[in-house]
Structure 1
Amino acid sequence: MTTPSIPADDPAPEPPERPGDNQCCQSGCEPCIFDLYAEDMQAWRDDFRAWEVRQASRKAAG
């Protein structure tokens, strides 16, 4: 089993931009813009953890 190569240019993922409070219409729509933001934040956290693992692997490989 081979380990996928890590590209030399592997910047940290950027977190999603939080919607402004005035961007929510307050009508209870489903999904709310803040629900979508929460999903995007979770995806970013997962991506960031994976990035941290890649960085640790790169440092360990020296």
Structure 2
Amino acid sequence: MSERQPLPPPPREPDLDECCGSGCDPCVFDLYDQRVERWRDRCAAIEAANREAGFGPREDAER
């Protein structure tokens, strides 16, 4: 049996001082939200592949 695919680390949340407060579009926090959504989708795909390979759910999964 192959090994369980590891989940990627979550994206780093920007510090509050990384936002200039001028209403930029997109804001660094908007970009972060997009990265988190892609990360969650990627984790879900990896977890599905792991289940298909016969691995059970991760005990230590954080999301």
TM-score by length of 2: 0.75
Extract unaligned runs of 5+ from structure 1: 1-6
Would you say the 8 A contact 1:13–1:51 is kept in 2? no
Q: What is the root-mean-square deviation of aligned Cα atoms in Å?
A: 1.7
> Runs in 1 of length 4+ with deviation above 4 angstroms?
none
Count of aligned positions: 54
TM-score by length of 1: 0.76
Counting aligned pairs with the same residue, the percent is: 39
Extract unaligned runs of 5+ from structure 2: 56-63
Larger radius of gyration: 1
